[in-house]
Amino acid sequence: MVRRLRVGAPVLFVSNTDIAEKLASSHAAPSIAAFFLFGVALQIALALVNKNAMWGCYWTEKYPAEASKKRFRFAHWVSGQYWIDVALDLLTVLFFGVATWGSFRVIVAAA
């Protein structure tokens, strides 16, 4: 049986000593790390926004009298705004792409 292991780039960098040393000695390392962290932070922010918006929607299903309150109207508005998810996902892809490309350049240059 063949097992496929899928790991993210940061895990690969930390677990491979040669790659970790090449990145650590590079002046680009702080920027690369920042781009990976920004991408992760965007996804966490998006999850929090969606979780809270959905909670507001569910709450008003259970308690319809609450639906007229501003915070619940806002939750319903956010839940219908697909562009928020797309924009943050595209930014995440951009940040991960920049970090991955920077990492690739450092690794190839050091080879």
Per-residue model confidence as pLDDT tens for the chain (111 residues): 445 544 466 666 667 778 778 888 889 889 998 999 999 999 999 999 999 999 999 999 999 999 999 999 999 999 999 999 999 999 999 999 999 999 889 888 876
Structural domain includes residue 48:
yes
Q: What's the pLDDT score for residue 24?
A: 80
Q: What's the pLDDT score for residue 58?
A: 98
**What Rg, from alpha-carbon coordinates, does the chain have?**
20
Contact 35, 102 (CB under 8 A): yes
Cα separation, 111 vs 109, whole angstroms: 6
Residue 77 per-residue DSSP state: H
Structural domain includes residue 2:
no
Cβ neighbours of 108 (radius 10 Å): 9
Structural domain includes residue 80:
yes
Report the number of distinct structural domains present in the chain: 1
Domain that holds residue 80: 31-110
Q: What's the pLDDT score for residue 108?
A: 84
Structural domain includes residue 50:
yes
Cα separation, 82 vs 84, whole angstroms: 5
Structural domain includes residue 22:
no
Q: What's the pLDDT score for residue 21?
A: 82
